[in-house]
Amino acid sequence: MKTYLAGFVLFFAQTAKAELTCVSTQMLNADKTACVALVCQTPQIFNLTKTACFTPPVCTAPDTLNSTQTACTKPKSPVCTPPKILNPAKITCIDPIISPTAQNTKPILNPVAQEWDVNVGELLTIPLSVNDPQQDEFTLTSSMALGEFSAVHNNDENLPTVDFLFTPAQAHGNKIYTTTFSAKETKTTQHYVSNKIAIKIRVWPSANHDIDAAMQLTISSAQWQANQLTMEGQVVLNSLLTQQERQTFIDQQFDLIIRSPEDNILHIAPLMLSNQGLWKVSFPLSLEQTPCHVVLEFNTRKARHQVLNAPLSCFK
């Protein structure tokens, strides 16, 4: 009996001695006699610290697992370029689908200002937006060979918009250009064309329109008689001016500077212009002071003319 008890105690002690405690990244082997690396059974995977196994969630499209595979996240919606729109799942851009029973309508080109001003070397941008219930793709056309169109973008009212871009060169200055815009569908059976919009573009040679308003100063006559020098001529006004702008320019106070060829100032007279830009100036001047020619300056424009009845020394 004693021998049997002693053997049982020894067996129990050996069994107790075989049980081990493993670190967090290990596990007991099958007979529990040693620690081995922790292994996860599919579909389980390690956590980030590799101390435990877990089953990642199953995501329903379009949701996807996050980087730690612990949760499902929704994809970010892309930004679509008109006329494309988001699909119902908001994960990709698609062409709008028009119901076969829906009636296609013509695009409408929204109105813009009829008159535009631009200076030589500067960029003119005219935004042209289109209304179309079916959101059909379109192209814009211009009857003017100059200029170009931008890519389609949405304006502040979320309407598809194309900019007409025009940078005039020096050769385009002091000219008026007219053009007509229209929009045409590109991917419909009907290829409908929108209404037409006509505009006018005035191209100024510089940013100083007051200087540009007077194209030329001319002298038709310059005559000395009885100690008076009398001159007549015309200021040729720019054809770009509207009737109101022309009258505003004429009503301004200008000075006409009269010099000798040696650049001596003979007189400064206020210049009054008629509706046609005609002018006449007369002022006292002795024969001895009278030059052979006069040089006139007005609003940066200059002109030169021989003086009739000038001193005989002019003809030697």
Q: What is the CATH number of the domain that holds 120?
A: 2.60.40.60
- Give a yes or no: residue 72 inside a domain: no
Q: Are residues 222 and 287 in the same domain?
A: yes
C-beta separation of 40 from 46 below 8 A: yes
Q: Are residues 277 and 240 in the same domain?
A: yes
What residues contact 150, with CB distance under 8 A and at least 6 apart?
A: 162, 163, 164, 165
- Give a yes or no: residue 161 inside a domain: yes
- Give a yes or no: residue 163 inside a domain: yes
Whole-number Cα distances in Å, 315 to 44, 81, 286, 296: 116, 78, 18, 21
Residue 220 has pLDDT above 50, yes or no: yes
- Give a yes or no: residue 96 inside a domain: no
- Give a yes or no: residue 78 inside a domain: no
Q: Are residues 123 and 148 in the same domain?
A: yes
Does pTM surpass 0.85? no
Task: Provide the pLDDT for residue 146.
Answer: 96
Q: Are residues 224 and 274 in the same domain?
A: yes
- Give a yes or no: residue 66 inside a domain: no
Residue type, 156: D
Using the 3D structure, point to which of 144, 173, 204 is the last residue of a domain: 204
For 297, which DSSP code? E
Using the 3D structure, point to which of 176, 204, 232 is the last residue of a domain: 204
Tokens of 252: 């301004």
Q: Are residues 260 and 286 in the same domain?
A: yes
Q: Are residues 200 and 222 in the same domain?
A: no
Q: Are residues 178 and 241 in the same domain?
A: no
What residues make up the domain containing 17? 2-39
Q: Which has the closest alpha carbon to 231: 240, 239, 222?
A: 222
Q: Are residues 200 and 266 in the same domain?
A: no
- Tens of pLDDT along 105-164? 999 999 999 999 999 999 999 999 999 988 889 999 999 999 999 999 999 999 999 999
Task: Provide the pLDDT for residue 97.
Answer: 66
- Tens of pLDDT along 240-274? 999 999 999 999 989 999 999 999 999 999 999 99
- Give a yes or no: residue 90 inside a domain: no
